[in-house]
Amino acid sequence: MTQDVLISTDGKAGRIRLNRPGAIHALNTDMCVAMAEALDRWRGDTGIEAVMIDHAEGRGFCAGGDIRMVQESGKTDGKAARDFFRQEYRMNHRLFTYAKPVVAFMDGITMGGGVGISLPAKYRVATENTKFAMPETGIGLFPDVGGGWYLSRLPGRMGQYLALTGARIDGAECLALGLATHYLPANALDDAKRRITAEPQAIEAILDALSVEPPEAKITAHQEAIDRLFASDRLEDIFAALEEEGGEWGDKQLSVMRTKSPQTMKVSLKLLADGRTMPTFEDEMRQEFAVASHVCQRHDFIEGVRAVIIDKDNNPKWNPATPEGVSQHLIDQIFAPLPDDEAWTPA
């Protein structure tokens, strides 16, 4: 059993505690398998009435996934990368379909893989420490772990904005957008967890009682501009709208997007367009797995991880280098379904 995630029971609650503080609790394959196995065990255990997900120590709830491993694998046959995505998405799907209430404590950095284990939870607790983002386009990846499902269901075009820019939002903004269900001060979390383990049937009342008035959600002031400027599902249209808009805020978004992979920004727009009408979360994960299987071996992902995470020169050389250079044929190739014997399944 991996020590990177601590699995235990406490009273009537199952506990999943991420325990890789040196990596800000980024998920690896063994962690995903251990979490899925625990969820399966507790599913039929009448003594367990709820599940709590948090982190054991250190800053951040969960900074994402094991991107260095995925990149190393992507440079060769991609098998280990595909295995990671397969197990991670199975765990995500179990959480999404779980009958017992799940509480995720999004205290600190909640990005990528951390989004994938918090957004399926019925109760999602943000704090003054929450830093939420889906920053994948900056490394030539896309907002996966159900990103196409969740982001496409945010108000207006907020999901497209978050997917393309990788913008970081705080706990108050998460609550305003519905990404979080409750806003608690971080110093109330231990009390919340104690009360929940004693009385899991009262989770909602416990979290309601400990909630405080959040600060102003700054992102909501930009909702109108986001809906207008990010209205199109064509990346070229969004760039043109931002260029025409000008102004401090518009120029800032434009300069941020010019650092991102044009290829995976286009992938993200299609993912959200498809996700809006995806029949089930299982269908969403099947599509995202096919896309991830293709993207993890492409130039932009290998180069993006090199530039941002390994060498840290923050100067990736994208190929194609411009939105216009990313053809519809290339996007179609990335979204091509996998053969039946390679496709993702829930178990």
Q: Which of 113, 114, 138, 166 is catalytic?
A: 113
Q: Which of 14, 60, 64, 65 is catalytic?
A: 65
- Catalytic residue flag (residue 313): no
| CB neighbour class for 1 (10 Å; exposed up to 12, middle 13-18, buried from 19) | exposed
Helices 79-96, 67-74: axis angle to 10 degrees equals 140
Rg (CA), the chain: 20
Q: Which of 54, 107, 144, 284 is catalytic?
A: 144
Backbone angles phi, psi at 49, to 5 degrees: -105, -15
- Catalytic residue flag (residue 136): yes
DSSP 14-78: EEEEE--GGGTT-B-HHHHHHHHHHHHHHHT-TT--EEEEEESSSS-SB--B-HHHHHHHHTTT-
Positive or negative torsion for Cα 109, 110, 113, 117? positive
- Catalytic residue flag (residue 246): no
Contact 63, 112 (CB under 8 A): yes
- Catalytic residue flag (residue 288): no
User: Can you read off the two tokens belonging to residue 297?
Assistant: 């071996």
Q: Which of 136, 288, 300, 303 is catalytic?
A: 136
- Beta strand pairing status for 182-183 and 109-111? unpaired
Supply the residues annotated as catalytic: 65, 113, 136, 144
